[in-house]
Homo-oligomer: A and B are copies of this chain.
Amino acid sequence: MPADPARRSQESWRAILDAAYALFVEGGYQSVTMGGIAARAGVGRQTLYRWWPSKAAIVFEAFLDKVSIGPLPADGPLPADGPLPADGDLATGDLATLLRAYAHGFLTLYVDGAGGSRLRELIGAAQTDPDLARVMAEQWFEPRRAPVREALREAQRAGAVRADVDPDTALDLVFAPLHYRLLVSGQPLDAAYADAVVDLCLHALRYIASDTTASRPSKSSLQGPQARR
């Protein structure tokens, strides 16, 4: 008998997400407990188990709620980078600018942000929790990939980017190194690195026009696209 969402208490829902997010940000994922959330939210423990399958699900929903909804009315420490700078027309115009914007948005959210570094822990938890992994892929990563993928396709149609590369693979060239440094390698993840990655990626993708002139290595190639102007 799956609980009927229509009868759900909105107050409890809010209180739970707020409590879960607060505990998460304050003490990290490991420090969050079902009992702790319930106590802080002034809610029965059973209410948690009624609506969520696991701690991971609650914490992720709380995170999503806080980050996506934008700055909280009062106390929110969120950078609220949220989904994206969001004006879609970037896509057509300037892929390089879009990619760079994304890379810097990533840094803002994951590295500088208060709750940002906590996302690492959620991704970590997802490694042993297939449900969480699926939900995060659907609700967090894919929404962030989609607009970039679309811009990439547009660029391919416009002939600005080689058309023989699967857009998802191309996307990975930018997204992957950022996540890699965040999660795997301990090496620095800063603006310089983000710029370098974007440039290299553009290099790799560039060259439907690359033809002869394009291939100039050291300096000019960094801003390859711009150089073409």
Taking Cβ atoms with an 8 Å cutoff, the residues of A that contact B are 28-30, 94-97, 100, 120-121, 123-128, 133-134, 137, 141, 145, 159-166, 168-170, 172-173, 175-177, 179-181, 183-187, 193, 195-197, 199-212, 214-215, 217-219, 221-226, 228-229
**In the docked arrangement, what's the CA distance between A201 and B145, Å?**
20
**In the docked arrangement, what's the CA distance between A85 and B210, Å?**
35
Q: Are A197 and B218 in contact (CB under 8 A)?
A: no
Which residues of chain B come closer than 8 Å to A229, judged between CB atoms? Answer: 209
Known: A179-B183, A187-B168. A207 touches B202 (CB 8 A): no
Nearest CB in chain B: distance from A29 CB, A: 6
Which residues of chain B come closer than 8 Å to A209, judged between CB atoms? Answer: 225, 228-229
Among B176, B211, B217, point to the contact of A199 (Cβ < 8 A). B217
Q: Are B211 and A137 in contact (CB under 8 A)?
A: no
Q: Are B221 and A137 in contact (CB under 8 A)?
A: no
Which residues of chain B come closer than 8 Å to A96, judged between CB atoms? Answer: 221-224
Query: 4 closest pairs, A vs B, by CB?
Result: A124-B127, A96-B222, A176-B180, A204-B204
Among B128, B165, B195, B223, point to the contact of A121 (Cβ < 8 A). B128
Known: A137-B186, A222-B100, A224-B206. A172 touches B161 (CB 8 A): no
Q: Are B172 and A173 in contact (CB under 8 A)?
A: no
Known: A124-B125, A224-B206. A172 touches B180 (CB 8 A): yes
**In the docked arrangement, what's the CA distance between A30 and B132, Å?**
15
Q: Are A196 and B180 in contact (CB under 8 A)?
A: no
Which of A30, A197, A202 has the largest count of B CB atoms less than 10 A from its CB? A202
Nearest CB in chain B: distance from A113 CB, A: 16
**In the docked arrangement, what's the CA distance between A94 and B94, Å?**
36
Among B124, B165, B193, point to the contact of A169 (Cβ < 8 A). B193
**In the docked arrangement, what's the CA distance between A218 and B159, Å?**
12
Which residues of chain B come closer than 8 Å to A202, judged between CB atoms? Answer: 221-222, 224
Q: Are A127 and B183 in contact (CB under 8 A)?
A: yes
Q: Are B217 and A163 in contact (CB under 8 A)?
A: yes
- By beta carbon, the residue of chain B nearest A181 is B172
Nearest CB in chain B: distance from A56 CB, A: 11
